[in-house]
Every structure is written in C-alpha cells, then in structure tokens.
Amino acid sequence: MDSIIVQGGVELRGQIHVAGAKNACLALMPATLLSDEPLTLTNAPRLSDIRTMTLLLESLGAEVRSMQDGRVLAMSSHDLTSHRADYEIVRRMRASNLVLGPLLARAGHAVVSLPGGCAIGARPMDIHIHGLESLGATIELKDGYLHAAAPKGLKGAQIQLRFASVGATENIVMAAALARGTTVITNAAREPEIVDLVRCLRAMGAQIEGEGTSRIEIQGVDRLHGATHSVIPDRIELGTYMIAPAIAGGEIEVIGGTMDLLPAFCDKLQEAGIEIEPIERGVRVRRGSGRPRAVNVRTEVFPGFPTDLQAQMMALMCTADGTSVLEETIFENRFMHAPELVRMGANIEVHGGTATVHGVERLKGAPVMATDLRASVSLILAGLGAEGETVVNRVYHLDRGYERVEEKLGACGARIERVRAE
C-alpha cells in the first residue's frame, strides 16, 4: 500500500485550488437514474469514490463518459439493464445507497446491498427506509440486501426525519421528485450538498422548494429531462487546506471556496487566532507568530462544525496553547486518529465521544497508520508542523476524498512525497 512521507518544519506559501465536492458529486451522479435523457456534471473531482460510483451506475446499465481529464462526467440512463446494486461494489463506499431512491422512483423496484465505507460508525439505513416506506415502498432486508418495491409507484407524504441525515434527505428528495403528489420533509438536512442536488434536479424539471432549510417541499412530476450542472466546491477540502498553514505556519490562498460554506469552522479558526480573509477568488489563511489558542469544538449538522473536519481540527489543537475539548456527536468511533497523534507526541485523552487535547509545544515525526479518510489527512497535516519525518501508512483512504494532496501541498513548499507500493 502507498505511503505519504512528510518532512515537517516548513512554512507554506502559495495557492491551492479546491476541487469539486466529493459528497455533492456522489449524490448528483445517481440522479441520472431518474431520467432517460443525458445528465452532464462539470467540475467533477477526480477521486476513487467517483470511479466506484461510475462502476455502480454502469452495472445498472447507465453510460458514464469521463471527459476533460475527469472534470466532466457525461451520463445517460436511457436503458437500465439491472436494478441490483451488488455487494462487491457497494461495500467500497457508503454513498452507494443513493441509487435506492432513484431506482425505486424510476423502475418501481430495487435490490441494494447494505453499504460500506470508512469504519467510523454504524450509520444505519433506518432513516432512509422510513422515508421511502412513507412514500409507499415496501422494503425487506434479506441476506444483506434491501429488497424494495413500489409496483404502483410512489406517492407523496409528510415525512419527519428523526435525525437530519444528509444521505436520507438526498434519497428521499430524489424518490419524491417522481412521486405522485406533494412530499414534505421536515427536519431535513441543510448542507450545501443538499442545495446543490436540488438545484440540479430543478434544472432537470423537478419542482422542489426549501433547500437549505429544515423543510423541503417536493411536488412530484411525471418525468425529468436532461441537464448540465456544475458541482459545487468541496467544503471539506477547503477546510482541510485552511488548516494546513495554521499548523505549519505561513500563508495560503485557497482558490474556489467561500467562507459561507463553513461558517462554524471559520469561526473556530478565528477564535484560535488564525487570520482568515475572503478574497476575490477564494479565502486567504495566515497564522501569525506564536501557537494557536486552544478552542472547544462540538460537531453538529450544518451549519454547525462538520464532523468531516473534526480530525483535522484535532491535529491543529495538538500544538495549541492550552487545553481543548472536542465532542463528536455525529458518528461514534471517530477518534481512531487520536492514538496515532499520540505516537507523534500529542497529549490526548479519549472518553466515549469526547476527546481532551492538552496542547504541546511541538509534535515529533513518527510512523503512523491511517484508519479512515479524514484521519489520513489529519496525520499528514500534523506531519507538516512536526519535527522530523512522518510516514503515514495505508493512505488508500486518502484517494477516496483528496485529489493529489501531495502535489497541492508540495506546490506551496511542503516537503511531501508519495511512496508507491511495489
């Protein structure tokens, strides 16, 4: 397996361009299943998760062409040949479950394996199932597969989500777009990725209002047509690279992102003493002299602090002045990076869903192991500010969500290289 080697102690200066949002693109791609006309996505990220979703869609009979070095995905689902999403593909990525709603809406039935992805918690499917059953589907779990059917079609309903699940909101919105009548989702997720999906569906002819709020109303239509849609910038990549100069020192312009994608995160960085300034094409981030200040963080659904930036923030707090408390409320089992940071000299105590970080003067490079996608990049960030060499092993997770991270950081002066597995 590949490794990333980081030589710490170098300040960063330069520009980093943010790619299209992985989590948005993974929801937009299954939307092609809702129509027999072409759907084209621009500003697509070049990631292994996108390739996995491509394989899944192709296994269902969709055509997916990658153009302009992977930045454009031209898709067509005019002739679906299967309604079964097999375990061998679905196990690689949690977002594979997003074909369930579109297949039900378009074909009236679907068989979808229970999903995989990073080992950061159970992330159950019950919210998805409840929403789709409310629309009139019958769903049965057999041998690790969800067998869903709606032979008479789906019908609009009032759906109250017990938790503002992003994936469940996406699945239900796509299914309801072709349901008869009106669907109202309350306690809906408000994330920018939801807003992006709705804008794409609206371009395809869907009648949806309320995206970005906790109440989304969908008036079902008979059919959707083709469209071309540009994927929003990746706010998690944006936040990750904003933390890089906060840890290593220096100044970086992150091009393509905006602060309104990460309101709570930007507030916490500024509270820690990091200078953030909006510029014409993105965000400028600078760390002044001295250590960052310790701040407390509690992960929440949007617009709160993103769980996908908790590991990166912990890496920053490891060398902050004072003690910080990080509370993880979205996923259990998401502090697996903490023991690896301790190997680098961090002082971290984990009790259940809370991690207490006592800041130290400086971390020291060490061999560490990536346990999931966001943990892998947090260890790279920690290595940027550490003394000596850090070797991050098992970085196959990294390529699921970060596009050529070593090239982007290297262009800003980081001494970082990828060692390919033989």
Backbone angles phi, psi at 208, to 5 degrees: -135, 140
Helical ranges in 279-396 per DSSP H: 310-317, 338-343, 373-385
Contact present, 317 and 294 (Cβ < 8 Å):
yes
**Per-residue pLDDT, 122:** 45
Percentage of the chain exceeding pLDDT 70: 97
Residues 169 and 276 in one domain: no
User: Of 230, 252, 280, which residue sits at a domain end?
Assistant: 230
Residues 72 and 200 in one domain: yes
What's this model's pTM, rounded to 2 decimal places?
0.93
Q: How far apart are CA 285 and CA 241, in angstroms?
A: 9
Residues 218 and 291 in one domain: no
Contact present, 95 and 165 (Cβ < 8 Å):
no
94 among the known binding-site residues?
Answer: yes
120 pLDDT above the threshold of 70: no
293 pLDDT above the threshold of 90: yes
Q: Which long-range contacts (CB under 8 A, 24 or more apart) does 136-143 make?
A: 136/179, 137/104, 137/175, 141/114
Residues 291 and 213 in one domain: no
Taking only the tens place, the pLDDT of each residue in 51-79 is 999 999 999 999 999 999 989 999 999 98
User: Of 230, 248, 279, which residue sits at a domain end?
Assistant: 230
Domain total in the chain = 2
Residues 217 and 248 in one domain: no
Taking only the tens place, the pLDDT of each residue in 205-217 is 999 999 999 999 9
**Per-residue pLDDT, 119:** 41
| Residue in 25, 118, 200, 412 annotated catalytic | 118
Residues 248 and 172 in one domain: no
Mean pLDDT of 128-149: 94
* 3-class state of residue 201 by DSSP: helix
Q: pLDDT class for 292, splitting at 50, 70, 90?
A: very high
267 among the known binding-site residues?
Answer: no
Question: Does residue 118 carry a catalytic annotation?
Answer: yes
Residues 103 and 176 in one domain: yes
Place of tokens 């997720």: 189
333 among the known binding-site residues?
Answer: no
Residues 194 and 276 in one domain: no
308 among the known binding-site residues?
Answer: yes
User: Of 210, 230, 250, which residue sits at a domain end?
Assistant: 230
Residues 128 and 178 in one domain: yes
Mean pLDDT of 259-281: 97
CA angle 186, 235, 3 (to 5 degrees): 125
Please give the residue range of the domain that contains residue 93.
22-230
Taking only the tens place, the pLDDT of each residue in 212-253 is 999 999 999 999 999 999 999 999 999 999 999 999 999 999
Identify the CATH number of the domain in which residue 255 sits: 3.65.10.10
Residues 177 and 284 in one domain: no
Residues 302 and 405 in one domain: yes
Mean pLDDT of 334-342: 92
Contact present, 365 and 390 (Cβ < 8 Å):
yes
Q: pLDDT class for 330, splitting at 50, 70, 90?
A: confident
282 residue type, one letter:
G
Q: How far apart are CA 379 and CA 21, in angstroms?
A: 21
Residues 252 and 362 in one domain: yes
